[in-house]
Amino acid sequence: MEIISGKEDYMYKRQLGNSDLYVSELSLGCMSLGKDAEKAKSIIDLAINAGINYLDTADLYDFGENERTVGEAIKGRRNDIIIGTKAGNNFTPGQEGWTWDPSKSHIKSAVKDSLQRLGIDYIDLYQLHGGTIDDPVDETIEAFDELKKEGIIREYGISSIRPNVIKEYVKKSDIVSVMMQFNVLDRRPEEAILELLDDNNISVLARGPLAKGMLSTKAQEKVKEKGQDGFLDYSYEELKALIDKWKDYESSERTLEALALQYILHNKTVAAAVFGASSIEQLENNLSYLEAAPLTEQMFGEIQAMTKPLTYKNHR
């Protein structure tokens, strides 16, 4: 996996596995864009103009409407971007609920719907949106392999935090990426998964890098709002104490958003930190990463020392 300088040298791009896809190390998760098409377009335009080239969505987000919103926003800019979307949740627009369906027939049908909603004729990165160890994994892989041979998708990956599922796909498929939650408060991928993926030349797309905003400049406010019931193995009291220490790292050289992003991008297996943004302000706060002083090994070690490594308790 290779890192190259981005266009005009303001955004680095990292190779996705051994593919010819190079994604910007900061990438935009589109789920929280909302349904206001004009607002969504302004966020996406600013992101692309700042050097972000990877946009991540899914057919399940707003039951297809998010793909439509993204499709409208990228008209005329298709060549500037890499589009990732996901499948595996079977739903009928206009009806409530959905069912998990990783079957070959559903995936090959779902991709056509995604292409239509996005208004494009191929998908750069198509991802299985979840997965269990009881799935018909071979059938699912066959569907993705056929779509790749047909030129409908360029590459494929999975979105999963389950070690047993990830290991199956590493062993049996040609995935180039795994999307998983990874941040300073959720260091579970460091346990063994990052090493496994690196050994097999598979990249990580790290979602949730700001931990629901609890690692942002509004950290203390967000902990009160989102952390009352704790977060993973952290109690509410532990979260408050940790975030008080986290706030001490805020400086003129580096925002807390930049520090949170620097921590996960410090690992070479991570191709991109995929953050959401529901406003221009949130996007700009995350883009402060581009102007931050480099993360030192000392700071990286201090962050590891004050947080919990954590381990996966299920799906072993």
Active site residues: 61
Extract the tokens encoding 155.
Answer: 């590459």
Contact between 302 and 262 (Cβ < 8 Å): no
Q: How many residues does the chain have?
A: 316
Extract the tokens encoding 76.
Answer: 């005329």
The residues that bridge with 254 in the sheet, in sequence order, are 251
Exposure of 24 by Cβ count < 10 A (0-12 exposed, 13-18 middle, 19+ buried)?
buried
Q: For residues 314 and 316, what is the distance between their CA atoms, to the nearest angstrom?
A: 6
Q: For residues 104 and 110, what is the distance between their CA atoms, to the nearest angstrom?
A: 10
Which residue from 128, 133, 159 is spatially nearest to 144, judged by alpha carbons?
128
